[in-house]
Structure 1
Amino acid sequence: MRGPMNNRSLPLMLMMVPLCMPGSGAALAQDVPGIEICTVEKKMERRTSCLQSNINFLQTSLTRQVTDSSRKIEAANRQIQVLESTVADLRKAVAELQAASRKQPQSPVKEDKKTPAKQEAK
């Protein structure tokens, strides 16, 4: 240990700093957007502003969700179009291969799969 503060005590000290500042936690909590419980407010003006804040939060959340959903749907539609064109290309290739196989004469398949050279060796 080199002195009153070493490398191990520094993170502990940094974590305790916010706890020592009593007013800072409340001020930060008010800046975080979200749903608030408005029934605890006694004054009608404060309750109204609380409800309006909830409405604004819900509207922005809904707008963000709609935008995200639209992007995902557009991406899915683009992927579907690519897959449909790939399927069309594959169907065309299969049709060409089938047509080519019909035009070529089939070589007769031997039932006895042994070659004559092997039969002579025995």
Structure 2
Amino acid sequence: MIAPTPRITIVAIALLMALLPASVHAQDVPGIEICTVEKTMERRTSCLQSNVDFLQKTITKLTTDHQQKLDAANRQIEALKNAVIGLQKLVGELQTAQNKAAEDAKKAAAPAAKDAAPATKEGAK
């Protein structure tokens, strides 16, 4: 059997759509509708209620999305705070080690200077 070409397929779908009743074509697509064109109060009320439902669903979805983004940002902030605390500890340890090394160098230099100072005095007499 020969496979139908895309052109034949499109024509067949178009013919099927044309043969379907008009009520099948109409779909209630969620969104804001202009309700002032409705003549009867029941249809106008239904239209307005549809708008309210759509807006409530949209607000709920946006609220959920934004809450998820806020939660992710808060988790990232906490991770960054922990990183800063770790870096502060590391800097403190490095400063302590640097100060200790400087004190050790001063202590090592001080006895050598004391030993060298009397020798120069004795040699001068």
Superposed counterparts of 1:26-105, under 5 Å? 26=26, 28=27, 30=28, 32-105=29-102
Q: Structure 1 length normalisation: TM-score?
A: 0.69
Which protein is bigger by CA-based radius of gyration?
2
Q: How many residues are aligned here?
A: 101
Q: Render the CA deviation track for 1:85-121: whole Å, top value 9, x for unaligned.
A: 1101011101111111121146xxxxxxxxxxxxxxx
Structure richer in helix, relative to its length: 2
For residues 30-62 of structure 1, what are the alpha-carbon distances to aligned partners after superposition, in whole Å with 9 as ceiling and x for unaligned?
Answer: 2x2111110000001110111011111111111
Query: Whole-Å Cα distance in 2 between the matches of residues 62 and 88 of structure 1?
Result: 38
Alignment of 1:8-23 (within 5 A): 8-13=6-11, 16-17=14-15, 19-20=17-18, 21=20, 23=22
State percent identity of aligned pairs.
47
Unmatched tracts of structure 2, length 5 or more: 106-125
| RMSD (Å), alpha carbons | 2.3
Q: Tell me the TM-score normalized by structure 2.
A: 0.68
Counterpart of 1:114 in structure 2 is none
Structure 1 portions without partners, runs of 5+: 107-122
